[in-house]
Amino acid sequence: MFDSGVGGLTVLAEVRKALPDAPVIYAADIAGLPYGTKTEAEVAARVCGLLGRMAERWHPRLICIACNTASTIALAMVRDVLEVPIVGTVPAIKPAAAITKTGVIGLLGTEATVRQGYVDRLASEFAAGKTLIRHGANGLVTLAEAKLRGEIVAPDALAAELDGLLRHPQAKDLDTLVLACTHFPLLELELSAAFGGRTAFVDGAAGIARRIAHLTKGQPFARPSPDRAVTTGDLVDFERLSPVLGQYGLEELEIF
């Protein structure tokens, strides 16, 4: 499972429920974090290069790109060059469109995700006739990373990230919000308070876990030793996450 940081843990939580015996290597490109402020070329180069090297080193039976930014930019490119099944994470616009009553949906992602053509295609295929308010909030990634390192999420900092969305002319009708960044469910309590508990949140994690279970159906799994988390960044910083990573069954921490 691959993400720029800790966001992919929200996908891993669902994968653990669906496939409790599946061994997982969790790879965080912390040297490249955040992806949301990068250009398409920068994200594509990192994701293709790193996943290529990781696939050669570990020979995974499946790769999950547990990151909306990486997936909406580079999923097709990675699939082109790696001979491994690859499951991506793309904004859950389809389920959001199915549950909205007002027809006004928010799309909260990184700035890089919300501008992708991939999102245009999902919107026209699944949310035609609805209003999709796109809002990039790169700073929420930093807040989620800090929260998992034990820091307090300052309500003002969170509010500043949401300001543009909450001031949109149609925001009062927004009843459904797509959490289109795997980091954002880590802030669900804080986001729920900011939206006054009136908005349904939708993300793709459970659907991704179902897809992985489907693609590996019938395959035997065994997890005889603790799973590993690797970082492209600094090991001392990564070790600050060890209590949280341990809760997801990731007990060995290494540098990639």
> How far apart are the C-alpha atoms of 49 and 56, rounded to whole Å?
11
Q: How many CB atoms lie within 10 A of CB 75?
A: 19
Catalytic residue among 181, 208, 209, 230: 181
- Cα(162)–Cα(100) distance, integer angstroms: 20
- Is 48 marked active-site? no
Rg of the chain, C-alpha, whole Å: 18
Out of 34, 91, 106, 204, which residue is the one contacting ligand DGL (CB under 6 A)? 34
x-marked contacts with ligand DGL along 187-226 as a string, rule CB under 6 A: ----------------------------------------
* Interacting positions 99-118 with ligand DGL (CB under 6 A): 110, 113
Name the packing angle between helices 139-148 and 155-166 (round to 10°): 150
Size of the site for ligand DGL (CB under 6 A): 17
Instruction: Please select the residue that binds ligand DGL; options are 36, 91, 106, 204, rule is CB under 6 A.
Output: 36
Q: What order do you get walking across the sheet with 200-202 strand by strand?
A: 131-136, 104-109, 176-179, 200-202
User: Binding ligand DGL by CB under 6 A: which of 182, 190, 231, 250?
Assistant: 182
Q: What is d(CA 55, CA 85) in angstroms, rounded to the nearest whole number?
A: 11
For this structure, is 67 an active site residue?
yes
- Choice between 34 and 60, CB closer to ligand DGL: 34
User: Considering beta carbons, is residue 160 or 226 the nearer one to ligand DGL?
Assistant: 160
Place of tokens 């969170």: 158
Give the active site residues. Answer: 67, 181
Residues at the contact surface with ligand DGL, assessed by CB under 6 A? 3-5, 7, 33-36, 67-69, 110, 113, 141, 181-183
